[in-house]
Structures are given as structure tokens and as C-alpha cells.
Amino acid sequence: MRIYMQTRSEDSGPLRFYQLSLQQDLLGGWTLYREWGNQGARSSMKREIYLDRDSAISAFEKARDSQVRRGFRVVFSQGLENPHAH
């Protein structure tokens, strides 16, 4: 699962992005990657590990919904039935 979102501040500042990616590892665990920053600049990344799929998907959806509330819009999604659901 992957989703890419963008927003621009009201003062027409730099375009900001937020990306979420959820991947299963070889041992059956799940890793949620979060990456964010200003477009064209150095970004930040955080990795979270989950033991089961349901917990990982719940964290993915919570992070997505939080960013949508902050004004981010979905630009690209992959592996999601309804990327705008929140």
C-alpha cells in the first residue's frame, strides 16, 4: 500500500509532501514508512514496525486521515480500495 499527498501553505510557500508506504517483511511482520518534507528539499523519514496486518493498516489509515485533516490532498495511491475514506 502506498499513498502520496501534497499541500501548499496559504501564503503560497513551498509545496509540501507526505508519503505513506506499508510493506510486509519476509517474516510476516509489517513496516509503515512515513516520509515528509518540502518538495525539492531534504526530507524526513520514520519507520514503524507492526506484528500484524490489522494494526499496520490501522496506523496507516490514522496517519493518512491526520494529514488529510491538515489540508493534504491525495495525489497518488496504490493498493487502496478507497484512498479518500476517513
pTM of the model: 0.84
Pairing between β-strand 15-24 and β-strand 30-38 as defined by DSSP bridges: antiparallel
Q: What is the pLDDT of residue 83?
A: 46
Q: What domains, with CATH codes, occur in the chain?
A: 2-78 (2.20.140)
Beta carbons within 8 Å of 52's beta carbon, 6+ residues apart: 30
Q: What is the pLDDT of residue 16?
A: 96
* CA atoms in the 13 A half-sphere facing the CB of 61: 14
Cell numbers 515528509 label which residue?
Answer: 36
List, in sequence order, the alpha helices (H) in 1-77.
Answer: 53-69
- Which residues are 23's β-sheet partners? 31
pLDDT per residue as tens, the chain (86 positions): 999 999 987 777 889 999 999 999 999 999 999 999 999 899 999 999 999 999 999 999 999 999 999 999 999 999 866 544 44
